[in-house]
């Protein structure tokens, strides 16, 4: 039977609700928190530190922190571009996109670990993972490098990273290490697949080089869910070799290049009163652009195929349009409007989630035909029954989510 880990992918230190959720999880007996240096530009690690300030050392020792390194994004990317002349060539940067660089070199690992320890307010991280090393593979594919050559280079980079990680174990800054990779879950004949069966040999080579008697390669993390089951092959290999398995994305599943949220949401009756109230206020010439936008949003609420598309749509299109439309509005009215719009968008998210879940039920009927509970309960139960999975990583950004998830651990 698997345990639950608190996932911090979208957790921020500036959101009090996220801090409260972390504290509630710690108080309720959660034994692992999964994070990364790039989650919310370091905000997730800072949030963990803020939550732990409420507890004594004995409580802290009951919770294992798993963090990761590899991504160069946000503030780290801006600093890198500004100071790139100070970085040595052996940092092995993969310039995957303008807003996403990547590295797993020993020098970068050492630097990132120091920053994570500072953000977490800790002297040691329990487990430190290489985060998606396959960015090198993806970039090599774009460059036309042959499969054999790119895998040879990938193994060399991983072994060098393992050497750095073994040194950090020896120096007492981490207890163990591993790899988090989406490519562990790819089909084995896929160009993006990252072969994993030689990782133990690479880890022991690294331990021998550093002078550690045994390697400290302890953990793998990968996506596994009701729709994406290929990762169970890797999980079983890890289980047989006494390497623990953390399953991420248990409720965000991808099949045939389409994303699904494996969760049921209730129909939101409060949406319409919020919508009508806002429409009445915006029925003026000055607010006509917002009025028209609200009409379009209402028409579009049935058309999202995945709830994750909504956030992108809101932050890239809707919110900038609203802010632009309100530039010349009286300050008093602007404050009232912002309050009502914020309330409306919250209700809008809930009704879109309901519409998406309703369509998901229909489209994925073959997966849930025997499911008498909610989709999230059936999806979690599917993973909990896999003896090869040690922890299921679930996002719990509200205290109520903590209790909903932990209640499933029966």
Residue 368 lies in a domain: no
Distances 5 to 110, 116, 340 between C-alpha atoms, Å:
26, 19, 36
pLDDT tens digit sequence for 280-339: 999 988 899 999 999 999 999 999 988 889 988 988 899 899 888 888 888 778 888 888
Query: pTM to 2 decimals?
Result: 0.90
Whether residues 92 and 198 fall in one domain: yes
- 154 touches 200 (CB < 8 A): no
Whether residues 295 and 353 fall in one domain: yes
Number of domains in the chain: 2
Residue 338 confidence (pLDDT): 86
* Structure tokens given for 10: 């979208």
- The pLDDT-based confidence of 87 (bands split at 50, 70, 90) is low
Whether residues 165 and 138 fall in one domain: yes
Share of the chain above pLDDT 70, in %: 97
* Structure tokens given for 353: 């989630």
Mean pLDDT confidence for 139-154: 96
Whether residues 75 and 207 fall in one domain: yes
Mean pLDDT confidence for 117-128: 98
Whether residues 251 and 300 fall in one domain: no
Whether residues 396 and 307 fall in one domain: no
Residue 19 confidence (pLDDT): 96
Of 328, 344, 363, the residue that ends a domain is 363
Q: Beta-carbon neighbour count of residue 77 at 10 Å?
A: 17
pLDDT tens digit sequence for 92-110: 899 999 999 999 999 999 9
Q: 85 pLDDT exceeds 80? A: no
Pairing state between β 174-180 and 217-223: parallel
Q: 88 pLDDT exceeds 60? A: no
SS (H, E, C) 21-83: HHHHHHHCCCCEEECCCCHHHHHHHHHHHHHHCCCCHHHHCCCEEEEEECEECHHHHHHHHHC
Residue 369 lies in a domain: no
Whether residues 388 and 243 fall in one domain: yes
* Structure tokens given for 2: 């698997």
Pairing state between β 174-180 and 71-72: unpaired
Residue 285 phi, psi dihedral angles, 5° rounding: -65, -40
Residue 1 confidence (pLDDT): 44
> Which residue range(s) make up the domain with 119?
3-262+374-406
Whether residues 250 and 276 fall in one domain: no
- The mean pLDDT value of the chain amounts to 93
């Amino acid at each position: 039977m698997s345990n639950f880990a608190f996932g911090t992918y979208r957790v921020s230190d500036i959101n009090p609700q996220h801090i409260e959720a972390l504290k509630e999880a710690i108080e309720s007996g959660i034994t692992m928190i999964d994070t990364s240096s790039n989650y919310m530009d370091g905000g997730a690690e800072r949030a963990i530190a803020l939550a732990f300030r409420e507890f004594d050392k004995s409580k802290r020792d009951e919770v294992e922190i798993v963090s990761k390194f590899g991504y160069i994004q946000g503030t780290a990317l801006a600093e890198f571009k500004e100071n790139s002349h100070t970085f040595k060539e052996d940092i092995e940067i993969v310039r995957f996109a303008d807003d996403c660089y990547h590295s797993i070199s020993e020098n970068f690992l050492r630097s990132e670990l120091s920053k994570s320890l500072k953000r977490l307010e800790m002297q040691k991280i329990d487990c430190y993972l290489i985060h998606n090393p396959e960015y090198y593979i993806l970039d090599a594919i774009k460059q036309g490098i042959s499969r054999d050559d790119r895998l040879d280079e990938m193994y060399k980079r991983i072994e060098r990273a393992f050497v750095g990680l073994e040194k950090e174990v020896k120096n007492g800054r981490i207890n163990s290490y591993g790899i988090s990779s989406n490519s562990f879950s790819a089909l084995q004949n896929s160009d993006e697949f990252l072969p994993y069966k030689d990782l133990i040999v690479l880890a022991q080579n690294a331990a021998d080089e550093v002078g550690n008697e045994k390697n400290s390669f302890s953990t793998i993390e990968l996506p596994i869910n009701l729709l994406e089951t290929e990762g169970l092959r890797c999980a079983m290999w890890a289980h047989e070799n006494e390497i623990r398995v953390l399953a991420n994305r248990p409720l965000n599943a991808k099949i045939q290049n389409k994303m699904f949220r494996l969760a049921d949401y209730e129909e939101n009756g409060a949406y319409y009163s919020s919508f009508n109230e806002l429409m009445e206020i915006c029925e003026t010439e000055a607010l006509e652009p917002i009025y028209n936008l609200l009409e379009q949003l209402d028409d579009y609420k049935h058309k999202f195929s995945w709830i994750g598309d909504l956030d992108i749509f809101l932050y890239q299109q809707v919110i900038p349009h609203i802010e632009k439309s309100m530039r010349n509005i009286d300050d008093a009215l602007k404050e009232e409007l912002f309050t009502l719009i914020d309330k409306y968008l919250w209700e809008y998210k809930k009704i879109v989630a309901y519409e998406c879940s309703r369509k998901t039920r229909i489209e994925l009927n073959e997966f849930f035909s025997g499911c008498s509970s909610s989709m999230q309960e059936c999806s979690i139960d599917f993973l909990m029954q896999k003896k090869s999975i040690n922890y299921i990583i679930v996002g719990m950004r509200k205290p109520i989510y903590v209790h909903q998830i932990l209640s499933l651990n029966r």
